[in-house]
Chain A
Amino acid sequence: MGLNSALVGRVYRSPDTYEVGREKIREFRAAVGAPGGDDAPPTFPIVLAMKAQEAAVLDPELGFDFSRVIHRDQSFRHTRPVRPGDVLTVEVRVTRVETLGANDLVALRSDIRTAGGEDVCTATTTLITWADTP
């Protein structure tokens, strides 16, 4: 099954919202060694983004072998920090689909907004299938 570059530009919107819990932020802070504070640490949006990205990376039309995937690049652009009580949506867009030698590469942009439409964060993720000889 080959990688389908025709999926560049496809957008995945989940009907679900993500409600940010104070304890979830604390749990995440503990996991990255970040001291207290109410706002979520800068990489917290990956929790929502990764969940939302599943719709894209597992899309059978994409033909991506998710069992061999590793994370290659990640970026975050924050309009404001994620805060407890935020009710957020994620819109995932396929921005790049490419085969590089023996490796398949997929890049996704995840726009995170409040349910009211306020921009919070844009996360971009590049995933690549891992070959035994990097």
Chain B
Amino acid sequence: MTTPTAPLPDVSHAPGARLPERRFALTRADLVRYAGASGDFNPIHYDERAAGALGLPGVIAHGMLTMGLAATAVTGWFGPSAQVAEFETRFARPVVVPPGEGVELAVSGRVDAVLDGSRVRVVLTALCGGERVLARARAVVVTGR
């Protein structure tokens, strides 16, 4: 998931402003890396047979990896001085990560409301294979502006 550190996009924080899509490549190696970093070694995230035993179509990404990448998109939009005060989501659909080249997760957002001078609420969309994998994904960001 090596994404180059791009310069901060000059995004508007006005209500309705669209936040540019960030794409994250996800391979099995990324799942293993996240398992190690988070301590979540549930075998459905690396073992085809364990995933199949649960009726899943294949090895799936940790929901928290998807949410973590979405958080990375949020902090990318607002810059290092911003802080995420609230962040919530439902894991609507499992992100199946096949061996080899894996899949791509696309995270985009929209400023839903400016709550006060420096806090904005952002609504997020996370797509994998054209399907929404997160639902009700929202963050409240203290922009530091």
Q: Could you tell me which A residues sit within 8 Å of B by CB distance? A: 24, 27-28, 30-35, 37, 41-43, 46-47, 50-51, 68, 70-78, 80-81, 130-133
Name B65-112 residues within 8 Å CB distance of A. 65, 67-69, 71-72, 74-76, 80, 83-91, 94
Q: Could you tell me which B residues sit within 8 Å of A by CB distance? A: 1-3, 5, 24, 30, 33-34, 36-40, 44, 54-56, 62-65, 67-69, 71-72, 74-76, 80, 83-91, 94, 139
**Which of B1, B5, B24, B94 makes the CB contact (< 8 A) with A70?**
B94
Task: Give A47 to B139 CA distance when docked, in angstroms.
Answer: 20
A123 → B minimal CB distance (Å):
10
In the complex the two chains form, is A31's CB within 8 Å of B37's CB? yes
Selected A-B contacts with CB under 8 Å, 6 pairs: A30-B33, A32-B34, A33-B1, A43-B71, A76-B88, A132-B54
Task: Give A70 to B65 CA distance when docked, in angstroms.
Answer: 13
Task: Give A87 to B92 CA distance when docked, in angstroms.
Answer: 34
Give the number of residue pairs across the A-B interface with Cβ within 8 Å: 109
Chain A residue contacts of B44, Cβ below 8 A: 70
In the complex the two chains form, is A76's CB within 8 Å of B37's CB? no
Chain B residue contacts of A133, Cβ below 8 A: 55
Chain A residue contacts of B88, Cβ below 8 A: 73-76
Closest 6 CB pairs of A and B: A132-B55, A32-B68, A75-B88, A31-B37, A42-B84, A71-B63
